[in-house]
Amino acid sequence: MNRRALEAICQTFAPGSDGVADAVLAAARKHLGPAEQRQLSLLLGTFGRGFALLSPARREAALRAWCDSRIPQRRAAFVALKQAALSFAYMRSESDWARERWEAIGYPGPAGAPAEPPARRIEPLRVERDLELDCDVCVVGSGAGGGVAAAVLATAGLDVVVLEAGGYWSERDFDGAEDPGYDRLYLAGAAAATVDRGIGLIAGSCLGGGTVVNYTTSFRTPADVLEEWAALGFPSDELGACLDAVCERLGVNTEHNRPSRRDELLARGVRSLGWHLDDLPRNVLGCEQGRLCGSCGLGCPLGAKQSTLVTWLADAHAAGARIAVDSRALRILVVGGEAGGVEASSNGHALRVRSRAVVVAAGALGTPPLLQRSGLRNENVGRWLRLHPGTPVLGVFDEEVRPWEGSLQTLYSDQHRDLDDGYGVKYETVPVLPGFAAAALPWRSAAQHAALMDEFARTTNIGVLLRDRGSGRVTLGRDGSTRVRYQLSADDLERVRTGVDGAARILEAAGARKILSGHSRLVSYEPGQRGDREGFLRDADAAGWGPGRCGFFSFHLMGSCRMGASPASSATNPDGETWETRNLVVADGSTFPTASGVNPMVTIEAIAHLNASKLAARLN
C-alpha cells in the first residue's frame, strides 16, 4: 500500500498527529478482507506521490472535492479515510498529539481497568489442535441470541457447545480506552459499513456480543409491533412469557437512572416544548452512573451491566456448556436434510462439532452468509434487513456538558414515534468519546474540525432513531465477504427530516447557542444570532441526505432471516427453524419480521428464549 499517500492524507485531516497512518494500516490488515485491502491500495494509488507534494491548502481542497463529488464512490472513499484518520488521531492513548488534544478539550482520558475486578465467570474451551466434538446442540454466537439459547438448552439438560468468533474479554480488560476497545469488542473494529459507506454498522464481536457493548437500554417489544408481526406469521402471542423471563433475568429496572448532563439537557428541551418524556428501562445492577458509565460502550468494568457474560452465558457454563472463543463457524453440516453440526476454524485449527441440532445466532449480518455458505437457497435469507438508521443533531452550549461521562441512557422521548401508521422516530442521547466524535463531526478543513473539537466538552447530541419501513439486503460476495446493501426509502427520509427538525427544536428549547446536523458539509445555525431552524433544514436538504452526504449509523441490526408463516415470505417457520433444513434454528435479531422501533436487545433475547425452548422440547 502507498504509505506515503496515506501519511499525507492523515496529516491533512489532523496536522501534527503521530502514528496515525501506521494504525490505519494495521487495522486494515486485521479487519479487511483481501478484496477490501486491494481496494484500499488502489485508492491510495489514486492519490499517489503527487498528493504528498501539494501544499496543505491544496490537499484540503482536494479532499473537499472528494467529499462533495457527484460520484458516490468518491464520497464513500472520503468518508472511510476521514473516519479512519480522525478516529485514530484522537483515540490512541500512546499518542502525544492525542493526549495534548485531550487536555485542550478537557477530556481526562480513560479511567483505566478496575483495581479489583470480579473473577472471571467462564473458563472457555481451549482449542490447541484440530479437534472434533460431539454434543446435542451447537450454538453459533454468544450475544443476545446465542447466550440466551445456550442457557435455555443447557439448563434443559442438553449437551451444548457454543462457538464465538470473537475473543473473551472481561471486567479486568475494560479500561475505557477507545483503542484497543473498538478493536477487541466490535465488528471490524467498529468500522463496518454498508457497501456505499452510507451507514456505519455498529455491532459487538466478542464473547457476549452486543450485550457487552450496548447502552443497557431494555425496552419490551411494543404491543402494536407484536400485532404487526402476528399478521406476518410471527408467534406474537407466545412471546409475552419469554419477555417476562428475560426482563427478570436481566434485572431490568429504572432505579439506576440518574441523568447525565446530556439527559438533563434533553429533558429541559422536551419539557419546555411540552413533549413526551419518560424513564428508560435498563439492565443494570449496582451501576456507577458517573465517569465510568460514559465509556461503558467499551465494556462495564464493574460487571453492573447484565450482559450475557454475567447472566445467560454464566448460567450455560454452570450447566455444563462448553464455550469456544476465537472460533468462526464456516458452514453448517447438513445430513439428509437435517442439521448435523458445524465446521469451524478456531485459533488456526480445524474444529468440527457434530450435533443433533444447530442454533445460529451470528446476528443479522453474520447469520445469512453462514446459511448461504451452508447451501440454503431460500430467497428470504439475507432479505428484509432493517437498521434503525440514526443520525445525530448536535447542540453546543455555554455550559459544560462533558458528553463522555454519566449514565449511558436514562431518558427518551417518543413524541414522534408514530408519524405514519406506527413508523416514526425516537429521540435518545448517548455518551460520546473523542475518537468517535472526531470521526463523526463534519470536516471541511483541519482548522474548522479542530474548532469543533475545541467545543466538545460543551457539546451534546440527540440521536434521531428511525423505525425504518424500507429494507436492505445481506449477501455473500464472490470472495466470501459479507456485503450489506441498504438505501433509505423516500418516505423513511421524510421521517428522518422530521426527526432532525424535532431534535433541533429540543436543543433550541434547551438553550443551545449553536446547532449542527450530521451532514458531511457543515450545516449549522445559531438560534437568535445567525439563521433559524427553517434555514437549517433548507441547508440540510441542499447538502443532501444520501450516502456520503449525511452521516448515519446503525446500532440495531435486524430482520435478514425473518420468521414467518410461509417460505415465500420468510426464512424460518414460526419456531425459528429454517424451511429447508430440519433442526437448524435461527435465534437472533435477524428473525424480526419488521423493525422493532425500540432498542432490540430484550426482544432478541425473548425470541431466542422462545425458539430455544421449543427446540429443547423437541430434542427431549
254-258 long-range contacts (CB < 8 A, ≥24 apart) are 254/279, 254/280, 254/281, 254/282, 256/282, 256/284, 256/285, 256/286, 256/287, 256/289, 256/304, 256/407, 257/282, 257/407, 257/410, 257/411, 258/289, 258/406, 258/407, 258/410
**Burial degree of 345 (CB within 10 A; 0-12, 13-18, 19+):** middle
d(CA 593, CA 236): 11
Residue 89 CA to residue 17 CA, distance in Å, equals: 6
Sign, CA dihedral 288-292-295-297, equals negative
Q: Which of 62-96 are b and which e, b meaning 16 or more Cβ less than 10 Å from the residue's Cβ?
A: bbbebbbeeeeebbbbbbbbbbbbbbbbbbbeebe
Residue 412's contacts (CB-CB under 8 Å, 6 or more residues apart) are: 277, 278, 280, 426, 427, 428
Q: Residue 414 class from Cβ within 10 Å (0-12 exposed, 13-18 middle, 19+ buried)?
A: middle
Element (H, E) at 462: strand 459-466
Cα(98)–Cα(103) distance, integer angstroms: 9
As a whole number of angstroms, the distance between CA 14 and CA 199 comes to 23
For 542-558, give the DSSP string. Answer: HH-SSTTTB-EEES--B
Can you tell me the distance from the alpha carbon of 115 to that of 255, in angstroms, rounded to the nearest whole number? 26
Active-site residue identified among 317, 416, 519, 556: 556
Grid cell, residue 209, equals 456480543
- Which 3-state string (H, E, C) describes 469-521? CCCEEEEECCCCCEEEECCCCHHHHHHHHHHHHHHHHHHHHHCCCEEECCECC
Task: Report whether 429 contacts 263 (CB < 8 A).
Answer: yes
Please confirm, yes or no, whether 556 is among the known catalytic residues.
Answer: yes
- Cβ atoms of 563 and 475 within 8 Å: the answer is no
CB 342 within 8 A of CB 373: no
Q: How far apart are CA 194 and CA 36, in angstroms?
A: 13
Q: How far is CA 219 from CA 313, 321, 468, 600, in A?
A: 21, 29, 18, 7
Element (H, E) at 335: strand 327-335
CB 515 within 8 A of CB 508: yes
Residues annotated as part of the active site: 556
